[in-house]
Amino acid sequence: MGTLVEPPRVVQARVSATRTARGGRARTVRRLALARLAVAVPLLFAVSVVVFLLGAASPFDPVYQYYGTRIFTAAEADVARTREQLGLDEPIWRQYLDWAHGALTGDWGMSRSFGQPVADVVAERLPWTLLLAGTGLTLAVLIALTLGVVSAWRQGGWADRFVVTAAHALEGLPTFLLGLGAIAAFAVALPLLPAGGVADATGETGFGSTLRHLALPALVLAVSQLPWLILTLRQQLLVAFADDHVTAARARGLPERTVVLRHGLPAALLPFVTTVGTRLPELVTGVVLVEEVFSWPGVAGAMVRAGLNVDYPLLVALTLLATGAVLAGNLLADAAVLLIDPRTSPRR
Amino acid sequence: MSEKTVPTGPEADPEAGPWRPAGRRRPGGAPGRGTAVPARVRLAFAAGTLVAVVAVILVVPLVAGDAATRTVDYDAVLLPPGAGHLLGTDDAGRDVLVRAVLGARVSLVVAVTCAVVATLLGTLVGAVSGAVGGLTDAIVMRVVDGFNAVPHLLLGILIVALYRGSLISVVVSIALTHWTTVARIVRAEVLSLRSRPYVDAAISGGASRRTVLVRHLLPAVAPQSALAAALLLPHAVWHETALSFLGLGLPPHLPSLGTMVADSRDDVLLGAWWTIAAPAGVLVAVTLAVAGLAGWWRDRLVPRRRSELAL
């Protein structure tokens, strides 16, 4: 966009802003990351302790898990020996220390529902989840940016009314219904896309095949996250359009496109990015439901299977993994805000 | 929808709205205002839906009998909607309408319980945290942050998996993951109330910390926490049905809407759309109606917020 007039820099004489401008952004981001790490480590520790205590207080006896139905015919002495071998007769703090030592050295225990080490289950399935979540989130952000700008720009117009009404209606539609509806519409009624999984029964795995299998789950995930993103962006844009610098841009006779995209949108983008960051737990929830509906072979689907089978080691690992992912995502969002905030940009 | 159709930040003038060329300005105030659905209409829709659902929930079991949900009839499997069964039957020959109604009853009761428990817990923690302040406040808020960092559904799955099969574990798992929003709201409210003259007056009159909290602060935050409870309701319905859908929710003898949706997944592939239409319809209608009512109430109490489920 060739504009003769430079977009106005919002004058904010905040001390931190000037300091940032002088010291460079990298240092600010590094400091933020360190501060977050200082919170994240104790938090993950606390979560692991709480989860461990929850497990210790639960009526489930891991020995039953180990034996399955054979527990009814097993000899008492054998059961006692197994209990000892599994370390279940030791005090709870001792068990926790053992587990924590293993976790820190990469041994997360055995997943009973998959019959594999937990680390292998996660390593095998995490890429699929990252693919689904990444595609879904990217789609959601792109669609939200488009619809939010259109909706706020022509506030009260037919597009705006349609988008806002649809967003409110979607807020009430649970993700699993959305997924089942999508399958019914685009896989059963109109057989355009596969209804689940990541590969056809032929076992063919290519880029095109994966893309076809990814399309429906990623879209459903994106749509399930859309309402909040669109409504937030629209609201922030409306606030930004009423700002002085936007009025000033209009007074200078800049084209509407420049006013909206270069002057209004950047101001609204900061709270929008923060919203995306704070909604990451909801994204995880969405991924769990979407993976279940579409039989997607990711870690979130494994969480459900672990829950159904009381696969305690896997449950703990996945809960901690998700918590870590949310914290990392929050950090990324805040770092992004620091980087795109025009007020902290270095002087040219 | 509130009277103000322009949601604004603290610094924007709500009446002015965004600038637009005179040619595009609509007559009669802010742009878009004349075409918005009036708040009264939306309120009537939400309240009407909710009243209708509650009425059906109360009446249908009386007519059909409570045992109807469990009456399995293999001679009447997957019947389409018709005279005998208004909304058809499922794969075990059970009446879909009766089951959906009882499912809605279970889901609503669970959701209300969860919302009440979460609100009580959140109000207590938030009020104490805000009133005591200092180190306690800092610690409590870190705990709240910690709870928010763990994805709610995962914590729910974990709790239900470890303490399976009971109503209590579902209620606890939902309440434990939802009290934090209430605690935040109540704490913020208490912090702003603490500096009011009447609280100063009570303190200089010799009132103890407890008296100030119980007699002066809690009654003042009561409307806010009641609103928070109402806003939690759709979340709780949603959460419970999601858990039940995953098979980690209520025990089988309590048919929740989520269980019904999960059960009918295979039948839908056989073409029996009615098995999912009833529970899904009731679920969406109830969620939207409750959210609409709560949103209307919030707009009256806190006129600046607009999105209805987002707290």
Alpha carbons A66 and A44: distance in angstroms, whole number: 27
**Nearest by Cα to A318 from A298, A291, A294, A332:** A298
Domains parsed from chain B with CATH numbers: 39-303 (1.10.3720.10)
Residue A283 · residue A332 · CB < 8 Å: no
Mean pLDDT of A29-51: 88
Q: How far apart, in whole angstroms, are the C-alpha atoms of residue A269 and residue A267?
A: 6
Q: What is the pLDDT of residue A123?
A: 92
pLDDT digits (tens, 9 = 90+) for A101-139: 888 888 888 888 888 899 999 999 999 999 999 999 999
* Chain A 233-272, residues with CB within 8 Å of chain B CB atoms: 235-236, 238-239, 241-243, 246-247, 250
Of A180, A288, A308, the CB nearest to B153: A288
Coil, helix or strand for A178? helix
The pLDDT score that the predictor gives to residue B297 is: 82
Please tell me the distance from the alpha carbon of residue A318 to that of residue A305, in angstroms, as a whole number: 12
| Separation of alpha carbons A339 and B32, rounded Å | 35
pLDDT given at position A207: 80
What are the residues whose beta carbons fall under 8 Å from the beta carbon of A44, sequence distance 6 or more? A320, A323, A324, A327
- Per the DSSP assignment, residues forming a β-bridge with A116 are A111
In this predicted structure, what is the pLDDT of residue B23?
A: 43
Reported as type and span, the H/E element at residue A117 is strand A116-117
Q: Could you tell me if B189 and B221 are in contact, meaning their C-beta atoms sit under 8 angstroms apart?
A: yes
Q: Mapping DSSP to helix (H, G, I), strand (E, B) and coil, where does residue B89 land?
A: strand
Percentage with pLDDT > 70 across chain A: 90
Could you read off the pLDDT of A85-111 as tens digits, one per residue?
A: 777 777 888 888 888 888 888 888 888
Nearest by Cα to A173 from A133, A224, A222: A224
Residue with tokens 């820190």: A104
pLDDT above 90 coverage of chain A, percent: 27
Q: How far is residue B223's CA from residue B215's CA, in Å, rounded to a whole number?
A: 15
* pLDDT of the residue at A344: 61
**For position B28, what pLDDT does the model report?**
40
Radius of gyration of chain A (CA): 25
A307, B161 Cβ separation under 8 angstroms: yes
Over range A331-336, report the average pLDDT: 89
Ramachandran assignment for B90, one of left (phi > 0), alpha (psi -120 to 50 degrees), beta (any other):
beta
Q: What pLDDT is recorded for position B70?
A: 62
Contacts for B247 with CB less than 8 Å, ≥ 6 apart: A304, A308, B262
What is d(CA A115, CA A210) in angstroms, rounded to the nearest whole number?
27
Q: What is the mean pLDDT of each run of 10 residues along chain B (311 residues)?
A: 44 51 45 54 86 86 65 72 74 80 88 93 92 89 88 89 83 90 90 88 88 88 87 88 88 83 81 82 87 80 50 34
pLDDT exceeds cutoff 60 at A238: yes
List, for residues A185-236, the tens digit of each pLDDT value.
Answer: 888 778 888 877 777 766 667 788 888 889 999 999 999 999 989 988 998 8
Task: Report chain B's C-alpha Rg in angstroms.
Answer: 23
Q: What is the ipTM of this complex?
A: 0.82
A176 contacts B245? CB cut-off 8 A: yes
Best mutation target among B33, B158, B265 (most A Cβ atoms within 10 Å) is B158
Is B4 in contact with B14 (CB distance < 8 Å)? yes
The pTM of the whole model exceeds 0.90: no
E strands within A226-348?
none
Cα–Cα dist B48/B33, whole Å: 24
Q: What region does B134 belong to: left with phi over 0, alpha with psi -120 to 50, or beta? A: left
Contact between B307 and A171 using a beta-carbon 8 Å cutoff: yes
Residue A217: what pLDDT? 94
Q: Which of A156, A176, A281 is the closest to B35 by Cβ?
A: A156
Q: CB A155 to CB B18 under 8 A?
A: yes
Give B-chain residues touching A60 at CB under 8 angstroms.
Answer: 162, 164
| Chain B contact set for A239 (CB, 8 A) | 8-9, 11-12
* Contacts A175 to B, Cβ<8 Å: 242
Helix and strand counts by DSSP (H, E) for chain B:
11, 0
